[in-house]
Structure 1
Amino acid sequence: MEPITGSDLYGFKDLLSDSERAALARLGALLDEHVRPVVSDYWERGEFPDQIIEPLINANLMDPPELREAGQEPSGLYNGFRNFEFGRVDASVATYYNAQSGLFRTTVNLGGSAEQVAQLDPLITSFQYKGVFALTEPEHGSDIAGGLSTAAIAEQRDGVDGWLINGAKRWIGGAAQADALAIFARDTADAQVKCFLVPTDAPGVRLHKILGKTSLRIMQNADIELENVWVPASARLMKINSFADVAACLRNMRSDVAWIATGVAAGAYEAARSYVAERNQFGKPLASFQLIQEKLAHMLSNVTASLAMVVRLTQQQDAGTYKDENSAMAKMFTARMLRETVALAREICGGNGILLENNVARHHADAESIYSYEGTHEINSLIIGRAITGIGAFR
């Protein structure tokens, strides 16, 4: 019997156009050539492989030539499968790319005025203007909606209207490689949350690499200090005037993370499947044992269910009909399935499952970060619970 290859059992990629599949195939080849050979070494060192940045930028994955030539715009499903393909190879690289293509671009496109979007989106798409999303603070993560303490006060300098920002941000991935930080701060005049594009080299901005991580070690997360940082009024994204506007951004971002979680689960499954096909015990391949096959079936089912959820979520997103609870459920479910899938992958590889060379250990460790970022399991559960009952239970 011919074995199943890949991890898209139900053929969800068939929903894409030929041009979109061609662009994704080109991405897969790029990742195989430039990323797969180096990620384990850089993961162990806790460093980012800067040499992969130029090939990723030159690939024009946000505005792929295959689609331009076909007269098509990238669909939500294409963007989702792009995150999926990144995740299959490495969660840190997926997170790095999504920091620009998802978090930062979404913030600008949803939060900026029409003029700001028209000016900045082409620069963001081409990576000429690199940015990151900076919401989380040292003392405020899950309670950021009410607890955000970074402050902004209107202040004029040399006759120019602007803002003075003081505070701190934490866990900001890719900050050291960015041109700008999308800093969320509370306006002292009305106590509402606003967003400011702060240059990383602005006076008063200090970045410190977070050390000692056991997950997403390639991704360079930073602590950021903001001391009397002044920016002109033009640096404020004009459509973000409350945390409700921030929540609208987060709603979109959760779907990106759900796609990454699904991709990482697929990568762990595929690595484990390859291992058991080649590893012999008791005189035959591990893949021939019933208990191993049951675990493989469980893992592929997890990936397939996650794919079904993110595909439908993205279709709703494109149609403008999805809600907070839809993306919260997708992030909660796919992250939980990821955690289960990577554990099974490590398990069927035995002791060798903790070795980087077998391409399971990275996924196993990195799943813990994905499980927590962009909304913990508990917070997303409460978003869903509020929708089910009509009662908010956050306090």
Structure 2
Amino acid sequence: MTLTTENPQSSVEVVAFTPLISDFYGYESLLTEPEKQYIVKLRAFLEAEVRPIMNDLWTKAEFFPRHIVDGLAELGLFGQSYPETQQFANSATFRGWVALELARVDASVATLVGMQNGLVMGSIAVAGSPKQRAEWLPRFASGELLGAFALTEPLSGSDTAQGLQTVARREGDHWVINGAKRWIGNGSISDVTIIWARDAEDNQVKGFIVPTTTEGYSAKRIENKQALRIVQNADIVLTDVIVPEENRLQGSKSFRETAAVLRLTRAEVAWAAVGNSVGAYEAAVEYAGSRIQFGKPIGSHQLVQELLAKSLANITASIGVVTRVSDMLDEGTQRDEHSSLAKEFTTSRMRETVAWCRELFGGNGIVMDYGVMKYFADAEAIYSYEGTREMNTLIVGRAITGKAAFV
């Protein structure tokens, strides 16, 4: 079986499903056969197309070539969550494994898919009208449009529910938006950006579908970023941007809808954190078997085995957490505190794991040729976005005590 993309030199050979060495308790066995076969195709594409170029792109801070985006779209990665665009019925656990598989090769490609499929299409799926879903979701799913999700602002990050300063003012059959956004993934290269702004009349947060060619919309890439360097984060300035009422997400009435989008995607970010740990762990295991010191592979030394065992324990515990949270999403019982605990736990364990794996490489670990340094650096971005550890801890703390301690 082969999967061909628009890259004329690519012919991806698909092989039989093989469990990951990091899946110590065999959680992948919970996937259905169609889900497993999809994972096989995804792995083949990532190994053939993404892994060979990712270190060079990361070093140069360049975005993926178009054939990568087209290949991801052909695989159905943009839209697998939604009835209008999904290629086959699947579970939240499967979608989590997809995020893990993406991040174990490259966290930037996982972030790209998470933004397009989760934040951008998720905003339309959660808060859009049936007409908006039918009009926009297929265009994003096909890769025709590349999207961005603009919530964070220069002076408003963790407090966006109350501190959002971008303002939308209704004027007849259109809205006028003024404000600024920061750290917007894909913001400088997107075709369409979902802008979240506070309604000047009722002070509630609403979402807007904004083509980036709209007059008054400007984006500038953030330079000198040292994590997720392939992702093109941007500062966005909105100056009297006119958006027709038909482009307002018709179901967005307050921050509640924004939070619903984040609840859906936060759990997948937790899965991506596990994937980033897995990528570093796999690199460490391979290096431990090939690096010779004192006349034998370093993997035969006790302290090296300790680093690997601790890393595997973190990964195994994290997979258990995210698997249960995904089950709860399918059951309809997942709440904010559940996804927040998963994100806080997995990203904290990821930070430990990638540090231990980088340590195993010694001085070689800081050279991009060995791969582990990218996982180490990218962990810092995953640790912070979609809710910092501190904010997610407070969400869980509120659920425990019944008292909010955000300020």
- Sort the TM-score into its range (normalised by shorter chain): over 0.9
Q: Tell me the equivalent position of 2:134.
A: 118
Q: Distance in 2 between matches of 1:212 and 1:26?
A: 34
State the shift of 1:63 in Å: 6.2
Q: Distance in 2 between matches of 1:63 and 1:28?
A: 18
**Aligned partners of 1:23 and 1:61 also within 8 Å:** no
State the shift of 1:175 in Å: 2.1
**Aligned partners of 2:79 and 2:117 also within 8 Å:** no
User: What is the SS of the residue equivalent to 2:118?
Assistant: helix
Q: Distance in 2 between matches of 1:357 and 1:378?
A: 34
Letter in 1 for 2:179: G
Q: How does 1:126-275 map to 2 (within 5 A)?
A: 126-156=142-172, 161-275=173-287
Alignment counterpart, residue 14 of structure 1, candidates 12, 29, 35: 29
Q: Tell me the equivalent position of 2:84.
A: none
Deviations 1:163-189 (A, max 9, x none): 000001111111233221100000000
Gap regions ≥5 residues in structure 1: 65-70
User: What is the SS of the residue equivalent to 1:176?
Assistant: coil
State the shift of 1:15 in Å: 1.0
**Aligned partners of 1:62 and 1:74 also within 8 Å:** no
Deviations 1:240-265 (A, max 9, x none): 11112211211111111001101001
User: What is the SS of the residue equivalent to 1:41?
Assistant: helix
1:29 correspondence with 2:44: yes
Q: Distance in 2 between matches of 1:101 and 1:5?
A: 25
Q: Distance in 1 between matches of 2:279 and 2:308?
A: 13
Q: Tell me the equivalent position of 1:56.
A: 72
Letter in 2 for 1:370: I
Q: Tell me the equivalent position of 1:323.
A: 335
* TM-score (norm. length: structure 1): 0.94
Q: Distance in 1 between matches of 2:343 and 2:352?
A: 14
State the shift of 1:114 in Å: 2.3
Q: Tell me the equivalent position of 2:55.
A: 40
Aligned length: 385
**Aligned partners of 2:77 and 2:117 also within 8 Å:** no
Q: Distance in 2 between matches of 1:61 and 1:255?
A: 17
Alignment counterpart, residue 309 of structure 2, candidates 289, 297, 306: 297
User: What is the SS of the residue equivalent to 2:235?
Assistant: strand
TM-aligned CA distance change 1:109 to 1:242, over 3 Å = same
Q: Distance in 2 between matches of 1:281 and 1:310?
A: 38
1:107 correspondence with 2:119: no
User: What is the SS of the residue equivalent to 1:186?
Assistant: strand
* TM-score (norm. length: structure 2): 0.92
**Aligned partners of 1:136 and 1:144 also within 8 Å:** yes
State the shift of 1:9 in Å: 1.1
Q: Percent identity?
A: 48
Q: Distance in 2 between matches of 1:269 and 1:279?
A: 15
State the shift of 1:59 in Å: 2.3
TM-aligned CA distance change 1:367 to 1:288, over 3 Å = same
Q: Distance in 1 between matches of 2:185 and 2:88?
A: 31
Letter in 1 for 2:155: E
Task: Please identify runs of 4+ aligned residues in structure 1 that moved more than 4 A.
Answer: none
Q: Tell me the equivalent position of 2:94.
A: 78
Q: Distance in 2 between matches of 1:132 and 1:15?
A: 33
1:96 correspondence with 2:112: yes
Gap regions ≥5 residues in structure 2: 1-18, 81-86
1:310 correspondence with 2:359: no
CA-based RMSD: 1.8
Letter in 2 for 1:323: R
